[in-house]
């Protein structure tokens, strides 16, 4: 078992290099600003977890059989994810991502939104190439669900009455759905059985939820250098994440009042009030509660792999569950 991402992704190292080539070629445009922003985004890197999940799932189920269209579809998934980030950063007014200025901070909101639209439309151009209706259905449904998740999150902003069920729905729509679609595409491209296809969907959904819950923890426990974005951003944006929801449910009367005020004020949050909320979270069991929820999701993801062939790619999918829990970035 490894929790080193490079080691985990070793079975698809050649495919990941191929993916980078496809991404570079597919992003070219006659419009200079699109090329400029696209290059800026690619240089920022990112873990490419979603396309890696597609490639690992496909390789695990194919179990040595030849695959087609997997690199192009992995690029499509990465383009959809990047488009959501470009739009997200504008909505959230974020200025730091992956350790550098966001595209909207560097190029302005209008350019970010429009290049996000370009990435979506390029993804749709590429997804029709295999002439496979099921591929289009998976990706169209995922894109629509992500958009619903963005709007749900917007409705939850500055609302201290958001409960755990409402928050988990946002996670499933906004984060889990693209993980789920990535794994479903991998199973489809590998001509997996109906059982394997459903298992791939479940695996993606649960590991996607794990990643988001760990992100919620890292928002309070990691430095800006580790996370590549500012610590406490979620609270400052008025997002009630699971550690805050735990405190609203289980904190003292004083802590509940503190968190309620913080969520409602958000952008105008004085630094001393943020520090009080941070201290309340650290003194409570909010982090442990969120960690336990993440561990349950990671175990459900592992359980879903029972019908996969036993091979190096399946082992990597298992190891990704442990990585998702132990990562600090």
pLDDT digits (tens, 9 = 90+) for 152-161: 998 999 999 9
Count of alpha carbons within 13 Å of 121, Cβ hemisphere only? 8
Residue identified by tokens 């296809």 is 197
Rounded Cα gap, residues 179 and 53, in angstroms: 8
Rounded Cα gap, residues 272 and 281, in angstroms: 14
Rounded Cα gap, residues 186 and 197, in angstroms: 9
Burial class (CB in 10 A: 0-12, 13-18, 19+), 7: exposed
pLDDT on residue 188:
98
pLDDT on residue 226:
54
pLDDT on residue 50:
97
Q: How many helical (H) and strand (E) elements, i.e. helices and strands, does the chain have?
A: 18, 2
pLDDT digits (tens, 9 = 90+) for 23-73: 989 988 899 888 888 878 777 767 899 999 999 999 999 999 999 999 999
DSSP 101: E
pLDDT on residue 101:
75
Is 37 strand, coil or helix? helix
pLDDT on residue 294:
98
Among 204, 210, 259, 250, residue whose Cα is nearest residue 232: 259
Among 175, 172, 189, 182, residue whose Cα is nearest residue 51: 182
Looking at the chain, the whole-number percentage of residues with pLDDT higher than 90 is 68
- CATH number for 5-326 (one of 3.40.630.30, 3.10.350.10, 1.10.600.10, 3.40.50.1820): it is 1.10.600.10
C-beta separation of 139 from 122 below 8 A: no
pLDDT on residue 225:
55
**Helix segments in 96-240, DSSP class H:** 103-107, 109-127, 133-156, 164-171, 177-189, 194-221, 224-227, 233-236
Residue identified by tokens 């561990």 is 295
Q: Report, as ranges of residue numbers, the positions in the chain whose pLDDT lies below 50.
A: 227
The domain segmentation of the chain, as residue ranges, is 5-326
Cα 38–224–96 angle (5° rounding)?
30
pLDDT on residue 264:
87
């Amino acid at each position: 078992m490894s929790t080193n991402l490079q080691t985990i992704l070793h079975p698809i190292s050649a495919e990941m290099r191929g993916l980078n080539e496809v991404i570079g070629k597919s992003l070219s445009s006659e419009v200079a600003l699109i090329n400029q922003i696209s290059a800026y985004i690619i240089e920022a890197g990112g873990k490419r977890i979603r396309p890696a999940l597609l490639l690992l799932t496909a390789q695990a189920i194919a179990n040595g059989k030849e695959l087609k269209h997997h690199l192009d579809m992995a690029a499509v998934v990465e383009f959809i994810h990047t488009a959501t980030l470009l739009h997200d950063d504008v909505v959230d007014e974020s200025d730091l991502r992956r350790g550098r200025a966001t595209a909207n901070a560097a190029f302005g909101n209008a350019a970010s939104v429009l290049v996000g639209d370009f990435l979506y439309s390029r993804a749709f151009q590429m997804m029709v190439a295999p002439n496979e209706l099921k591929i289009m259905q998976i990706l169209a449904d995922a894109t629509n669900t992500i958009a619903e998740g963005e709007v749900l999150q917007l409705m939850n902003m500055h609302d201290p009455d958001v409960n755990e069920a409402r928050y988990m729905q946002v996670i499933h729509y906004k984060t889990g759905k693209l993980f789920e679609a990535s794994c479903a595409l991998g199973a489809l491209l590998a001509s997996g059985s109906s059982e394997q296809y459903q298992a791939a969907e479940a695996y993606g959904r649960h590991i996607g939820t794990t990643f988001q819950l760990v992100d919620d923890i890292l928002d309070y426990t990691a430095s800006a250098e580790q996370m590549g974005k500012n610590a406490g951003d979620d609270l400052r944006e008025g997002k009630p994440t699971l550690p805050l929801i735990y405190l609203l449910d289980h904190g003292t009367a004083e802590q509940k009042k503190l968190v309620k005020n913080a969520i409602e004020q958000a952008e105008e949050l004085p630094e001393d009030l943020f520090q009080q909320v941070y201290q309340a979270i650290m003194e409570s069991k909010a982090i442990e509660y969120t960690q336990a929820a993440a561990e349950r999701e990671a175990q459900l993801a592992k359980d879903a792999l029972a019908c996969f062939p036993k091979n190096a790619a399946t082992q990597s999918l298992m190891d990704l569950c442990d990585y998702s829990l132990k990562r600090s970035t």
